[in-house]
Amino acid sequence: MRFKLFGEHTGLRVSELVLGTGNFGTRWGYGAEPDEARRIFDAYAEAGGNFLDSANGYQFGQSEEILGDLLAGRRDEFVLATKYTARTDPSSGILVTGNSRRAMTSSVEASLKRLKTDRIDLYWAHMSDGVTPLEEIVRGFDDLVRAGKILYGGLSDFPAWRVARAATLAELRGAAPIAGLQVEHSLVERTTEYELLPAGEALGLGIVAWSPLGGGMLTGKYRKGEKGRAEGFGGKVFQAENSPQRTAILDTLIAVAEEVGVTPSEIAIAWVAAKGSLPIIGPRTVAQLQNNLAAAKVTLSPEQIGRLDKVSANPPIFPYTVLDDPDTQQLFTGGKREQLDAPTSVVA
């Protein structure tokens, strides 16, 4: 497995595939028993993986507890990421949930205990609660960094405008920078390409993509009658094959997989990686892990990426319906659009 620098605000060297541990445990009624989780963890480490992603609420805290046991004696070999915001278990009340500093400090202490470690490498705000000011989140992350309890802070499932404001506030105030962005991204969830992915790239954030397999839909297994997350998580974190476009996406994905001689899963993960994000794989079994890891060896041709892009494309939205129009671009380039060498990276 190859390694990449995590964004432009850290020197972290992380593996190209992230191990998501939402399936570590069975308190949700669906997941991997501790022994299977250990086998998954060991196989991922043996393959060269070093980036772990968890959350306080995964399996009602059991995911972090299992990780704490697995990391014993080898903590420094991994970049450990976890999250706060959502409730840990059904007893979690209003003061320990949301994005507030109160919830952040309470959650980080509890996660440190479950993980059996003295620091969390990357601490995510799991999702935007829509009410906590970004100033409070940025200051909270900065205080935890200064206290040595976390090394970096990041935002998961936040609107792009809030991500941009948080990153700007941290920069202007000399606080610990917002280091990472976590979003859903797959061939059946490309709306993040409108604003979130360009924002993350322009702001120099390390970007990780969850559910690159659309909750298993892009494996093709549901066409064979398998249930997986369609029932295991109560139908949540799952993309159904519920439209002609999604059927065409899966048909094209299977066709490309047959051309390359690999599984649809490998192609779907490789496509996300080709777009610049670090895919989070979330296997429940060692067999699923091995299949996911094989995606790191897949190289898609420009023609294959183009076919997948075309079949999965979203309709353009404002203001890009205006800004990407060639006639409009002639207006703001003085009629020299074809002669302008534009930058290859996104500009903030």
- Catalytically annotated residues: 58
* Amino acid (1-letter code) at residue 60: F
Helices (H), 116-243: 134-146, 160-173, 196-202, 229-232
* Count of beta carbons in the 10 Å neighbourhood of residue 219: 23
Quote the DSSP letter at residue 94: G
* Pair type for strands 13-15 and 18-20: unpaired
CA atoms within 13 A on the CB side of 339: 6
Q: How far apart are CA 125 and CA 104, in angstroms?
A: 8
Helices (H), the chain: 34-46, 62-70, 101-115, 134-146, 160-173, 196-202, 229-232, 244-260, 264-274, 286-293, 302-312, 320-323, 326-331
CA-wise closest residue to 154 among 51, 61, 230: 51
Residue 280 parent element (H or E)? strand 278-281
* Pair type for strands 51-53 and 79-84: parallel
Decide if 12 contacts 79 (C-beta within 8 A).
Answer: yes
Quote the DSSP letter at residue 293: H
DSSP tally for the chain: helices H, then strands E: 13, 10
Q: Tokens 């924002």, residue?
A: 199
